[in-house]
Amino acid sequence: MRSVVRHVMMSEPVPPVSIAFGDFSRLKRVAVEAVSKRHPIGRFLLTEIERATVYEPAFVPERCVRLDDWVTFRADENEPLESRVLVLPEGFRNSALHLSVLSPLGAALIGLHAGSRIHYVGFDGVPHIAMVENLDPPTGVISLLQRRSMRSAQRADNNNPDRPGPTAA
């Protein structure tokens, strides 16, 4: 059975992985520790980050899956769309909100570009094909960066000398 899974998984080219230098060092630490503790996903995560192109933060392609960012994906071809924030194991708090990089799906998604597909094997040994749909927060969710940006814009507007001030009644 394993040779069949390997054959199926190797029939499609492996998509490129792009990782920011800061994420790379954190991911490498987690992966090496997981391998040393014989975590079932440690070796897969290590393999994925070692094949990655590592970028300085300013040069990371915009549309790739990063730590602490939203990703909307299909865990398999016939599964519904889901959105989660990809996190390190210590950042995992809520399965409805977070996806750990030490899960089979999380390790498969890290560094993929929007529109990419990747084969991976679940904890149960069943092969899957994950697809990255987009990297935007779900509708109605404001990310921390968007919130900070809105606050900065609001503060800048409040300091505008041309803005009319309060009026007396």
Beta strand 18-20 with 98-100: parallel, antiparallel or unpaired?
unpaired
CATH architecture of 2-157: Roll (3.10)
Domain ranges of the chain: 2-157
pLDDT in tens, 15-38: 999 999 999 999 999 999 999 999
Question: Measured between alpha carbons, how far is 9 from 120 in angstroms, rounded to an integer?
Answer: 8
Taking the CA atoms of 76, 79, 82 and 87 in sequence, report the sign of the dihedral they define. Answer: negative
Q: What predicted TM-score, i.e. pTM, was given to this entire model?
A: 0.78
3-state secondary structure of 153: helix
Q: In what order do the strands lie in the sheet with 117-121?
A: 98-100, 82-87, 70-74, 127-134, 117-121
**Which pLDDT tens digit goes with each residue over 48-77?**
999 999 999 889 998 999 999 999 999 998
